[in-house]
């Protein structure tokens, strides 16, 4: 389209600071064709993120190569269509998975990490491994041991309580694909719960949202979660009783490097 026909928006220069759809300009009373095409592409990417199958075996192999052990579980939602229509079934384990996980609970676990596809398996495929590689040294510095990572199909956030209770874990961190936005089909959310058990309210969880390179990057997200975990273990609380004050404290890895320099 002839660029001279497009009326530029006065906020145009602000587009460099955000991926949000601002300052799109106009042609007559309509959007420019280029922006309409970009909108259609973003909408298609969001739909693909919801329906893309969870590549659970490939992710398990990738995690094994990085030294993590894994288990696999299923929610009570038998397929994607059921999962989308019945959110309640995504919040609970299938009976077979619950009984199998209980058999794996040889001894209590300090922290179990649950990785669930949620509403964007794209987010999980892209962000899980690099985030866990940032998180692991921080947990080691805090002395918090993690059990096997439980990869779960058709999962909602609350299924972490069911899994943690089955494995007798003191705390659970659920990594899950967030509902795709038109500029962010790959955002991963993290939910931390202390003393997880079936039936807890969402107010018992701390949430870290929009984890991805273009959002909250991996080192910052790992710092937030490790700080919250450190406080959860020290004070034995989470959710509305545990305020996120991580921005007021240096990253624990930075503290370690500083101590090593002083020695």
pLDDT digits (tens, 9 = 90+) for 25-63: 888 888 888 888 888 888 888 888 888 889 999 999 999
At 27, give phi and psi (nearest 5°): -125, 110
CA distance linking residue 55 with residue 58, whole number of Å: 6
CA distance linking residue 87 with residue 90, whole number of Å: 5
Residue pair 161/200 in contact by the 8 Å Cβ criterion: yes
Over its C-alpha atoms, the chain yields an Rg (Å, rounded) of 21
Q: How many CA atoms lie within 13 A of 132 on its CB side?
A: 27
- What is the per-residue pLDDT across 139-178, written as a single tens digit (0 to 9) for each? 999 999 999 999 999 999 999 999 999 999 999 999 999 9
Full-model pTM: 0.88
Residue 233, number of CB atoms within 10 A of its CB: 17
Structure tokens at 139: 């947990």
- Decide if pLDDT at 261 tops 70: no
- What is the per-residue pLDDT across 78-121, written as a single tens digit (0 to 9) for each? 999 999 999 999 999 999 999 999 999 888 899 999 999 999 99
- What is the per-residue pLDDT across 210-257, written as a single tens digit (0 to 9) for each? 999 989 999 999 999 999 999 999 999 999 999 999 999 999 887 766
- What is the per-residue pLDDT across 4-18, written as a single tens digit (0 to 9) for each? 677 777 778 887 887
Residue pair 89/76 in contact by the 8 Å Cβ criterion: yes
pLDDT of residue 262: 47
């Amino acid at each position: 389209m002839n660029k001279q026909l497009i009326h530029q928006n006065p906020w145009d220069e602000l587009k460099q600071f955000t991926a949000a759809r601002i300052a799109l300009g106009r042609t007559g009373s309509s959007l420019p064709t280029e922006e309409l095409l970009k909108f259609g592409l973003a909408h298609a990417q969001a739909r693909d993120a919801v329906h893309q199958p969870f590549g659970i075996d490939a992710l398990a192999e990738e995690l094994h190569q990085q030294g993590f052990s894994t288990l696999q579980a299923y929610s009570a939602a038998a397929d994607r269509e059921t999962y989308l229509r019945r959110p309640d079934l995504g919040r609970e384990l299938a009976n077979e998975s619950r009984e199998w996980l209980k058999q794996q609970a040889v001894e209590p676990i300090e922290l179990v990490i649950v990785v669930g596809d949620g509403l964007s398996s794209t987010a999980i495929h892209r962000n899980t491994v690099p985030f866990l590689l940032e998180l692991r040294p921080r947990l080691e510095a805090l002395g918090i041991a993690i059990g096997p990572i439980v990869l779960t199909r058709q999962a909602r956030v609350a299924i972490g309580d069911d899994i943690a209770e089955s494995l007798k874990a003191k705390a659970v961190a659920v990594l899950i694909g967030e509902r795709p936005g038109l500029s962010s089909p790959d955002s991963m959310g993290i939910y931390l719960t202390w003393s997880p058990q079936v039936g807890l309210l969402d107010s018992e969880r701390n949430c870290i949202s929009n984890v991805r390179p273009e959002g909250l990057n991996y080192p910052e997200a790992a710092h937030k979660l490790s700080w919250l975990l450190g406080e959860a273990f020290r004070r034995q609380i989470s959710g509305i009783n545990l305020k996120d004050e991580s921005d007021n404290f240096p990253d624990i890895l930075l503290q370690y490097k500083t101590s090593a320099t002083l020695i």
